[in-house]
């Protein structure tokens, strides 16, 4: 094993492994160091996303939605599936098989691209060198022309809700319950709390979600957030806003959860508690004080728009730097820095990064919300169209929600698109393309959308900006 590389990447998540692959595509000699050990005690690539994040959570969301449909929703189609039951062990095994496939796929890609996978811990030291401590064997120092830091994030822990066996858990433990908890508490109505709360609620858990803030999904368009909250509550998620956790105690397998809300001190008992109150960047022991790398005021690695740190030739990407903690953002940053290292021009349009909450209905958005545009003092218009009035949505019995468009009055440019409804995670990509190309609402109004399709709701929302939606009885112009 050589100890000299063109590029050394520390972290093999969606940021790090994508950076490694792109750098290899561009002719560099690359090593990727990753320290993750999975629940079987094996090293595994793919980071949080593939092992305990995006992929396993979606596997469980898909399994449980099918169960939910089989339990009742299919009967409207005339399908009688009789008594339905869920084999939780099989559901978890399917999830584990999917994770194994994904992480194995990443390992295969690294191998196919001639990238050296170093299993252990990496640390940047002075002189742009990397200290590598393998899981087994002696540490060594690697020389590198360029270093990419991509160590991701870990769940924020609350001192008053310390993780305990499989009773008080974080997002990792919440993917591993061996049976459906009768009563499930969730701390934090963020994306993880809502997605994993939905998983267990669909299987029959009585789920209470405590959220410290008084606003539901504050980063989301207000109308979209209101519609999502209404539907999640209808599904049985008991979401309590302005409810701040103050303490927990575990006795005889039951968690007593103390919290305060507008009415004062409260207490509830649950069988399992998921703590999902945000994530923090993994920067401890990642760089020595004399490495030259600095943190920003929020504890992320300080980088510029191009993900360059204060040390020439050292970059940082993904969850350890500013911006949304999203896998696709990490990946695009990885690709960008690999291009920059190879001497090419590359940049990311941070205004066009989509977000999705994979609940039912799904919530997705890109660009500015109406509230943000209003706060900027710009003149804007909005258009809205409901899935209820769309033939494909009616045929699929998926009529909840709407698409909302925010556009600039002076230029007609689309500023933001916000969706709550079926396939919101897919439809939003059409909006991303529109924003990326600086499209006007008129551009999208004039395009032909296939019928019948859920995307027609996006088309009609664009038309509605000028009061021109075809399938709307309310044709008044909106602001
Ligand atoms: P990570 O994926 O965290 O990877 C970092 C890797 O570096 C890890 O393997 C870690 O072990 C390793 N490492 C850390 N320190 C060192 C070191 N010193 N030396 C060597 N290796 C080290 N995002 C989405 O976009 N869509 C989703 O649907 C989604 N769902 C999620 C669901 C859950 C439950 C969670 C927890 C997260 C989800 N995310 C989702 C967020 C997404 O997983 C992260 O944004 C993404 O994984 C960040 O990628 P990364 O490469 O920056 O870091
Ligand atoms: P989050 O920041 O989305 O939400 C955490 C919530 O917990 C906040 O609403 C916060 O107000 C609340 N909270 C904090 N302290 C509290 C307390 N003491 N009592 C009650 N509530 C409290 O964080 P998360 O859900 O842990 O997710 C972390 C990140 O992972 C997300 O920001 C997201 O970027 C990423 N993620 C993305 C997806 C996706 O893209 N679909 C899915 C899961 C996670």
| 25-68 per-position pLDDT tens digit | 999 999 999 999 999 999 999 999 999 999 999 999 999 999 99
Residue that is written with structure tokens 């049985």 in the block:
236
Local structure of 138: helix, strand or coil: coil
pLDDT at 407 over 60: yes
Q: Would you tell me the crossing angle of helices 191-202 and 54-71 to the nearest 10 degrees?
A: 40
Cross-strand partners of 257: 248, 268
pLDDT digits (tens, 9 = 90+) for 306-339: 999 999 999 999 999 999 999 999 999 999 999 9
- pLDDT value, residue 479: 47
Q: Who lines ligand 1 at CB under 6 A?
A: 10-16, 33-36, 47-49, 53-54, 57, 121-122, 150-153, 171, 192, 282, 286, 318-319, 325-328, 330, 358
- pLDDT value, residue 1: 47
Nearest-angstrom CA–CA distance, 257 and 248? 5
Our separate counts of H helices and E strands in the chain read: 12, 21
% of residues, the chain, pLDDT over 90 = 97
Distance 366 CA to ligand 1 centre (A): 22
Burial class (CB in 10 A: 0-12, 13-18, 19+), 42: exposed
C-alpha pair distances (Å), 226 with each of 18, 215, 372, 405: 36, 10, 17, 16
Neighbours of 434 (CB within 10 A): 24
pLDDT at 3 over 90: no
Neighbours of 62 (CB within 10 A): 16
What average pLDDT score do residues 162-191 get?
97
Kindly report whether the peptide bond that precedes residue 452 is cis, defined as omega within 30 degrees of 0: yes
pLDDT digits (tens, 9 = 90+) for 268-299: 999 999 999 999 999 999 999 999 999 999 99
Nearest 5°: the CA angle 59, 177, 195 is 45
* Burial call 149-163: b when 16+ CB within 10 Å, e when fewer: bbbbbbbeebeebeb
- pLDDT value, residue 477: 54
Is residue 270 within 8 A of residue 257, CB to CB? The reply is: yes
Is residue 387 within 8 A of residue 420, CB to CB? The reply is: no
pLDDT at 2 over 70: no
pLDDT digits (tens, 9 = 90+) for 118-151: 999 999 999 999 999 999 999 999 999 999 999 9
How big is the chain by its Cα radius of gyration, in Å?
24
Q: Who lines ligand 2 at CB under 6 A?
A: 158, 187-193, 195, 210-213, 244-245, 276-279, 324-326, 356-358
- pLDDT value, residue 73: 85
| Mean pLDDT, the chain, whole residue set | 96
pLDDT digits (tens, 9 = 90+) for 408-432: 999 999 999 999 999 999 999 999 9
Structure tokens at 411: 């230029």
Nearest-angstrom CA–CA distance, 341 and 345? 10
C-alpha pair distances (Å), 49 with each of 55, 112, 152, 281: 6, 21, 10, 14
List the one residue out of 317, 299, 325 whose CA is nearest residue 49. Answer: 325
- pLDDT value, residue 28: 98
Nearest-angstrom CA–CA distance, 460 and 444? 9
Distance 47 CA to ligand 1 centre (A): 5
Structure tokens at 162: 């310390």
DSSP H helical segments within 342-389, as ranges?
A: 370-376
């Amino acid at each position: 094993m050589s100890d000299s590389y063109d590029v050394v990447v520390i972290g093999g998540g969606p940021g790090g492994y994508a950076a490694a692959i792109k750098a290899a595509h561009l002719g560099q000699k690359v090593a990727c160091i990753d320290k993750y050990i999975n629940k079987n005690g094996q090293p595994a690539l793919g980071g949080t996303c593939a092992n305990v994040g995006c992929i396993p959570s979606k596997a469980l969301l898909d399994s449980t939605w099918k169960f939910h449909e089989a339990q009742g929703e299919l009967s409207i189609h005339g399908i009688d599936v009789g008594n339905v039951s869920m084999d939780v062990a099989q559901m978890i095994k399917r999830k584990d098989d999917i994770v194994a496939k994904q992480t194995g796929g990443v390992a295969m890609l690294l191998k196919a691209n001639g990238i050296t996978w170093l299993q252990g811990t990496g640390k940047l030291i002075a002189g742009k060198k990397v200290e590598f401590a393998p899981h087994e064997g002696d540490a060594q120092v690697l020389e590198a022309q360029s270093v990419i830091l991509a160590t991701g994030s870990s769940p924020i822990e609350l001192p008053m809700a310390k993780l305990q066996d499989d009773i008080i858990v974080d997002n990792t433990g919440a993917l591993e319950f061996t049976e459906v908890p009768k009563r499930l508490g969730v701390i934090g109505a963020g994306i993880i709390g809502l997605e994993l709360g939905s998983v267990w609620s669909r299987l029959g858990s009585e789920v209470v979600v405590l959220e410290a803030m008084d606003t539901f999904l504050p980063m989301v368009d207000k109308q979209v957030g209101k519609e999502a909250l209404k539907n999640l509550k209808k599904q049985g998620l008991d979401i309590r806003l302005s409810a701040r956790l103050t303490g927990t105690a575990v006795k005889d397998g039951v968690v007593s959860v103390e919290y305060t809300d507008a009415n004062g001190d409260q207490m509830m008992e649950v069988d399992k508690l998921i703590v999902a109150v945000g994530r923090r960047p993994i920067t401890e022991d990642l760089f020595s004080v004399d490495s030259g790398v600095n943190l920003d005021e929020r504890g992320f690695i300080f980088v510029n728009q191009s993900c360059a740190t204060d040390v020439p030739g050292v970059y940082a990407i993904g969850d350890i730097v500013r911006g949304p903690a999203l896998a696709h953002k990490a990946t695009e940053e990885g690709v960008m820095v690999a291009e920059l290292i190879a001497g090419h021009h590359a940049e990311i349009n941070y205004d066009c990064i989509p977000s999705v909450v994979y609940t039912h209905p799904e919530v997705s958005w890109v660009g500015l919300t109406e509230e943000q545009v209003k706060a900027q003092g710009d003149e804007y218009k909005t258009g809205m169209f409901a899935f209820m009035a769309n033939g494909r949505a009616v045929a699929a019995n998926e009529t909840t929600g709407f698409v909302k468009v925010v556009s600039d009055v002076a230029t007609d440019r689309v500023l933001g698109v916000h969706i709550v409804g079926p396939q919101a995670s897919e439809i939003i990509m059409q909006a991303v393309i529109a924003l990326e190309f600086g499209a006007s609402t008129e551009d999208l109004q004039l395009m032909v959308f296939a019928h019948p399709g859920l995307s027609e709701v996006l088309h009609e929302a664009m038309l509605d900006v000028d009061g021109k939606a075809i399938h709307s009885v309310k044709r008044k112009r909106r602001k």
